[in-house]
Chain A
Amino acid sequence: MSGTHSDEPSVLQHHFDNLGQQFEASALGMWVFLVTEVLFFGGLFTAYMVYRMTYPEAFAEASHQLNIVLGGTNTAVLIGSSLTMAMAVYAAQQGDRHKQVLFLVLTMVLGMVFLGVKSVEYSHKFAEGLVPGPNFRFEGDAIHAQLFFSLYFVMTGLHALHMIVGIGIMAVLTVFAWRGRYTSRYHTPVDVSGLYWHFVDIVWIFLFPLLYLIDRHGAVR
């Protein structure tokens, strides 16, 4: 298996027959992990579903405290980062090292913009006394509004944690891509990390309408 390109170490690991099989195995492994992630977040979505059905008015009232402009901006930012991630994979497939690094860096920058906006939102919630606990202040059904905000912080917090992990992965990929480790023949890590990044985007695609947009037609804000 070795020795044909003496300047290039073989990227094919010994337990695979060929690069195609190696790639399929890696991608499938990532998908299996993502399925566990679906069920991980699924538990939280289930809790959300039960409590929203039980206390619909309190959830709508509490949802109106969230900022649609910031939430919507972050949705756009995250969709944009998915596009740049897809472009990074595209560049890797073409063996274009510079574009690959460029789009990985752009993806990280957009991820950080998302986290920045998120931290602004969190600090507003702290200032407004909307963090569940002894200092929770809410005009209306405060007890059940706390349930909403508990779910809000856990779900968006867990999502933000995934973003932070994703940015870490992108940073490592960028270094390796810069060193020319990925070629048009072998770029599996970029593909597989892209799957993870897009998955985190999908979680937010559900979080945005479910947390920010409950009964907005009745909102007098």
Chain B
Amino acid sequence: MVNDVTHADVEYGGTERPKHLVPLRVYFAVFAALMTLTALTVFAAMQDLGPFNTVVALVIACTKAVLVVLYFMHVRYSTKLTWAVIAGGVFWLLLLLLMTLSDYITRGPGWLHFG
């Protein structure tokens, strides 16, 4: 019996494995928030907000993505290395979008017709 405990300790590295046992009510709350935000984005699309329609849609989508990443994907309880990898991914995505955008919007009149 003593051996059992020692063996388990070795396999877990002396401590319990980082347990991110998120309470179920957190999952349900996140689910409810995601559903509400989906309804909200459809509602917002029906309103005439001018150029802000796209902004509002993207802000809602990003909020939903962050909720999924933090809670469903357990990143809130993950290591700093995981955070660094995700931040790197987001950074490169923004580079891709913003560098391309800065090219197209500086090509002068006639290239883009902003609605």
Contact = CB atoms under 8 A, between A and B. Distances in A.
Given A31-B82, A76-B38, A23 B17 contact: yes
A39 B92 contact: yes
Interface string A10-35: 10100001111101100110011011
Contact of A213 (B21, B57, B89): B57
A72 B38 contact: yes
Nearest to A32: B85
| Interface size range on B against A | 35 or more
Contacts of A206: 61, 65
Chain A interface, DSSP helix/strand/loop, else mixed: helix
Contacts of A56: 113-115
Nearest to B7: A4
A46 interface: yes
A213 B33 CA distance: 20
B114 A18 contact: no
A205 B65 contact: yes
Given A32-B85, A38-B89, A90-B24, A19 B114 contact: no
Given A191-B74, A214-B54, 14 more contacts: A1-B10, A5-B7, A23-B18, A28-B81, A35-B88, A46-B96, A56-B114, A72-B38, A76-B38, A79-B31, A86-B22, A195-B73, A209-B45, A216-B45
Closest 9 CB pairs of A and B: A56-B115, A18-B13, A35-B89, A213-B45, A4-B7, A209-B57, A216-B45, A217-B48, A20-B17
Interface of B: 3-4, 7-8, 10-15, 17-19, 21-22, 24, 27-28, 30-31, 34-35, 38, 41-42, 45-49, 53-54, 57-58, 60-61, 64-65, 68-69, 71-74, 78-79, 81-82, 85-86, 88-90, 92-93, 96-97, 100-101, 104-105, 111-115
